[in-house]
Amino acid sequence: MKKILGFTFGGLQKKMIALVMIMLSVAVVVFIGISFYQNKMLVDVVETTRVEQEKAISQVSEQTMHQMMEGTLAEMTSMHAKNADNDFKEVINCVYMMQTMAQGLFENRASIAPAEVHLPDRSEDGEAAVMVLHEKGVDYTKSEDLGVVGHMSASMIAMLKNYDKISACYIGLADGTHLAADTSTVNKYDENGKLIPFPVRDRPWYKGAVETGGLYFTGIEPDAFSGEPGITCSAPVVVDGKIVGVVGADVILDNLNEIVRSANSDGGGYVSIVSKDGEVIASSITGTVSEDENSGQSTKQEVELVLKDNPELAQIYKTALQEATDMELITVNDRQFYMAGAPMPSVGWAVISAVDKEVTDLPEKQMLAEYARINEEASGRFRTGSARSARTVLLILAAIFAAGAGAALFAAGKIVKPIEQMTRDIIRSSMTGELFKMKDCYRTDDEIELLAESFDEISRKTRLYIEEIKEITREKERVSTELKMANLIQSSMLPHIFPAFPDRREFDLYAAMDPAKEVGGDFYDFFLIDDDHLCMVMADVSGKGIPAALFMMISKVILQSCAMLGQSTAEILNKTNEALCSSNQVEMFVTVWLGIMEISTGKVSAANAGHEYPILKKGDRFEMFKDRHGFVIGGMDGIKYKEYQFQMEEGDKLFLYTDGVPEATDAGNNMFGIDRMIDALNQDPEASPQQILINVRRAVDGFVQDAEQFDDLTMLCMEYKKKE
């Protein structure tokens, strides 16, 4: 392109000028010839072209808007649902932690001294504090359970301080008393300074958890003291088949408010969070979370979501409770909406997003109206000019060409100028990282303005996407740190100081556990029941990751507690199975090999709950010892385990392991196997227990090489030496 006298020639300008000159030439010829006939013909052509162009504009605009909506509405709905659901996952974890803590305290209450608890202290208002509330007519000082759950006070305060999603956590007891961690104490008293009775067992969160027998979420309920709306997550505490109380946590609703407020920023978008019972938990129609029976209803200008009267709307709601939906065009109260839904699986709710089709059609209508106006003005000017040209065409032909060329040049420059400015701004934005911003020179009421608005929107969304990616990265780093801490905690739970019993010469022992993930479900244990009895445990929890690690810790504590009572190995497994089955809501199980060796004689009493066969070294070789197998622990209540014995002589060794060792796989998905494991043991059968484990691990690593492992590697070796 070239510049002459300040005007740019080439590109769009050249084409526009050429088009104008051609039209002028044709007009002159037409006026000289059969002006009236040609004028009518031109009018017909212009009208037909206008109609076809309007159709094309309408179709392209509608298709473009539909594609834009289809690509963003479902994605944004899923993002809203995921963000809201993540908030509730933290609350659920807190409730499960309190439930587990309470059940453990009640199951061991005989060995726990009652903790001191007290009524709300008004001097602690505004600070996290634990307080006692009770129903009318209930004497909390006579409660036998308050002293037990009082040991949860420190943990409840820690949860309240560390989890910003909850405003209070508590446990309501079946005797009408209530222990709560809260930051408000003054509102627990009336104007006369008397403690306000708290109807514990009549609260929706208590009754709902008792009726469902599991995790329960209330709808929007007013707080018993402040009256502020909120949602409560609760779960029953069951001991010996009886509900002794209900733990709960109140949810802060700010995040839900933010979601529904942001969705209605342009007046045409709506977001509703709906429970599985059809209750509107939150809606952008009101811009906030529902606070009373009238909240969530539409005004005269807004759309009311009526599920029962609209099968299409009911179907998208029903589907959204299970999975994310595609965008659908649905008619509600004689108005059309683009809608999409996504589930909140943690609470069983759904997020429904809707955009009024009138809003998406508005640019098309504005474009067509502007196009019609321009066409009408152009037609009028054309008719006037044609009549004038017919009278003066021969006299001012040169002037018409000159004026037409000048006008075309000026108009083309004026039309192209915003595009040139836009190009410079986009280049500068890409080089400096600044946002592309809308300017007055772009407001041309035509496609140029729409293009500028699109660049402005893309620029802002790109910046938002970058910030979201940064936030996701920070969250991943936080989760990684927490998993590393969990690994350290799990490792500290297992005996890890060797030699474990440096003052005992009768035996030598070494063990190791390498989790497949940051935390695992395998564990080993060994401890002296008394001076003459050594207990050894090898166990494998079903599943992997944090759930398996938590179940492992519970199983380890119960096994050790039962073993220290001096019972037989079969009775220890019986008691452990009974304890785990009584509260195994996660339906996990654990395989266990447990043996107790009488140190003075070398006699070993053992029981096997579905675990791998032990390996014994008798003489100069390790061989598999196929013992009696029982059912896994935690899998079925009422199982009775059987005990068996074998004799350890001087120099004999016992090798215990989990299935992660023989089932380790190489890149070809071939397993390491029992035979290779026994060969590794017999590589140096006279080696120390520590060296034995090193030999096995070296053999496993050499077999699997760089292949990823999906199960924990846990081993224990005990050598019985000369009796002293």
**pLDDT tens, residue by residue, 609-642:** 999 999 999 989 999 999 988 999 998 999 999 9
- Strand ranges in 14-128 using DSSP code E only, listed in sequence order: none
Name the class of domain 108-252.
Answer: alpha beta
- DSSP state, residue 284: T
SS3 720: strand
pLDDT per position as a tens digit, 55-111: 877 777 667 767 767 667 778 788 878 877 887 888 999 999 999 999 999 999 999
Cα separation values, 33 from 45, 394, 570, Å:
18, 12, 116
Q: Please, which residues have CB within 8 angstroms of residue 375's CB and are 6 or more apart in sequence?
A: 46, 50
In the structure, how many helices (H) and strands (E) does the chain have?
14, 25
Q: What residues form DSSP beta bridges with 289?
A: 282
Rounded CA-CA distance 290/675 in Å is: 65
Kindly tell me if the per-residue pLDDT of 493 is higher than 90.
Answer: no
- Give the pLDDT of residue 307: 56
Kindly tell me if the per-residue pLDDT of 297 is higher than 50.
Answer: no
Rounded CA-CA distance 102/15 in Å is: 81
- Give the pLDDT of residue 285: 57
Average pLDDT over residues 385-397: 74
- Does 394 or 258 have the greater pLDDT score? 394
Vertex 344, ends 340 and 350: CA angle to 5°? 45
Residue type, 541: V
Q: Please, which residues have CB within 8 angstroms of residue 441's CB and are 6 or more apart in sequence?
A: 417, 418, 421
Helix axes 447-493, 357-392, angle to 10 degrees: 160
Q: Give percent above pLDDT 90 in the chain.
A: 42
Burial degree of 367 (CB within 10 A; 0-12, 13-18, 19+)? buried
CA atoms within 13 A on the CB side of 300: 0
Q: Is the dihedral of CA 251, 257, 262, 266 positive or negative?
A: positive
φ/ψ of residue 603, rounded to 5: -80, 130
- Does 231 or 379 have the greater pLDDT score? 231
- Give the pLDDT of residue 259: 59
Q: What residues form DSSP beta bridges with 329?
A: 338
- Two tokens, residue 293: 């029976």
Kindly tell me if the per-residue pLDDT of 315 is higher than 90.
Answer: no
Residue 296 near residue 283, CB atoms below 8 Å? yes
Which among 349, 85, 347 has a CA at the least distance from the CA of 214?
347
Average pLDDT over residues 123-133: 94
Rounded CA-CA distance 72/475 in Å is: 24
- Strand ranges in 293-425 using DSSP code E only, listed in sequence order: 328-332, 335-344, 349-356
- Give the pLDDT of residue 485: 65
- Does 530 or 378 have the greater pLDDT score? 530
φ/ψ of residue 577, rounded to 5: -60, -40
Kindly tell me if the per-residue pLDDT of 138 is higher than 70.
Answer: yes
Cα separation values, 9 from 6, 22, 25, Å:
10, 17, 21
Band the pLDDT of 360: cuts 50, 70, 90.
confident
Band the pLDDT of 302: cuts 50, 70, 90.
very low
Residue 709 near residue 514, CB atoms below 8 Å? no
Rounded CA-CA distance 148/469 in Å is: 46
Cα separation values, 572 from 533, 578, 596, 606, Å:
15, 10, 11, 10
Which among 246, 272, 242, 252 has a CA at the least distance from the CA of 260?
272
Kindly tell me if the per-residue pLDDT of 387 is higher than 80.
Answer: no
Burial degree of 658 (CB within 10 A; 0-12, 13-18, 19+)? buried
- Give the pLDDT of residue 623: 96
Q: Which residue has the tokens 């970058």?
A: 466
φ/ψ of residue 461, rounded to 5: -65, -35
**Of the candidate ranges 49-53, 565-569, 602-606, the one whose mean pLDDT is the lowest:** 49-53
- Does 81 or 148 have the greater pLDDT score? 148
- DSSP state, residue 278: S
Peptide bond into 499 cis (omega under 30): yes
**Of the candidate ranges 193-207, 287-301, 678-692, the one whose mean pLDDT is the lowest:** 287-301
End-to-end CA distance of the chain: 104
- Give the pLDDT of residue 5: 56
- Does 513 or 387 have the greater pLDDT score? 513
Q: Please, which residues have CB within 8 angstroms of residue 71's CB and are 6 or more apart in sequence?
A: none
Provide CATH code, domain 66-88+256-359.
3.30.450.20
- Two tokens, residue 723: 């009796």
Rounded CA-CA distance 172/216 in Å is: 14
Q: Give percent above pLDDT 70 in the chain.
A: 84
Q: What residues form DSSP beta bridges with 307?
A: none
- Give the pLDDT of residue 260: 67
**Of the candidate ranges 215-219, 406-410, 479-483, 602-606, the one whose mean pLDDT is the lowest:** 479-483
> Which H helix or E strand runs over 514?
strand 507-514
- Give the pLDDT of residue 525: 94
Q: Is the dihedral of CA 574, 577, 579, 581 positive or negative?
A: negative
Residue 655 near residue 623, CB atoms below 8 Å? no
Residue 715 near residue 661, CB atoms below 8 Å? yes
The 3 state secondary structure assigned to 460-485 is HHHHHHHHHHHHHHHHHHHHHHHHHH
Q: Which of 176-190, 273-287, 492-506 has the highest mean pLDDT?
A: 176-190
Kindly tell me if the per-residue pLDDT of 416 is higher than 90.
Answer: no
The reply to whether domains 66-88+256-359 and 494-720 share a CATH topology is: no
Give me the chain's average pLDDT, please. 83
Band the pLDDT of 134: cuts 50, 70, 90.
very high
- Does 652 or 584 have the greater pLDDT score? 652
Residue 182 near residue 168, CB atoms below 8 Å? yes
Rounded CA-CA distance 518/540 in Å is: 16
Q: For the chain, give every domain's residue range.
A: 66-88+256-359, 108-252, 435-486, 494-720
Count CB neighbours of 377 within 10 A.
Answer: 10
Cα separation values, 378 from 407, 528, 553, Å:
14, 102, 83
In the CATH scheme, what is the homologous superfamily, with its name and number, of domain 494-720?
PPM-type phosphatase domain (3.60.40.10)
SS3 538: strand
Count CB neighbours of 240 within 10 A.
Answer: 9
Band the pLDDT of 304: cuts 50, 70, 90.
very low
Rounded CA-CA distance 233/238 in Å is: 17
Vertex 49, ends 43 and 51: CA angle to 5°? 105
SS3 710: coil
> Which H helix or E strand runs over 23?
helix 11-32
Kindly tell me if the per-residue pLDDT of 689 is higher than 90.
Answer: yes
**Of the candidate ranges 81-95, 368-382, 521-535, the one whose mean pLDDT is the lowest:** 368-382
- Give the pLDDT of residue 296: 37
Burial degree of 707 (CB within 10 A; 0-12, 13-18, 19+)? middle
Residue 588 near residue 548, CB atoms below 8 Å? yes
Rounded CA-CA distance 143/41 in Å is: 100
> Which H helix or E strand runs over 372?
helix 357-392
Average pLDDT over residues 659-670: 91
Rounded CA-CA distance 318/313 in Å is: 9
**Of the candidate ranges 298-307, 314-323, 636-645, 698-707, the one whose mean pLDDT is the lowest:** 298-307
Helix intervals (H) in 163-242 = 204-212
- Two tokens, residue 438: 């809308």
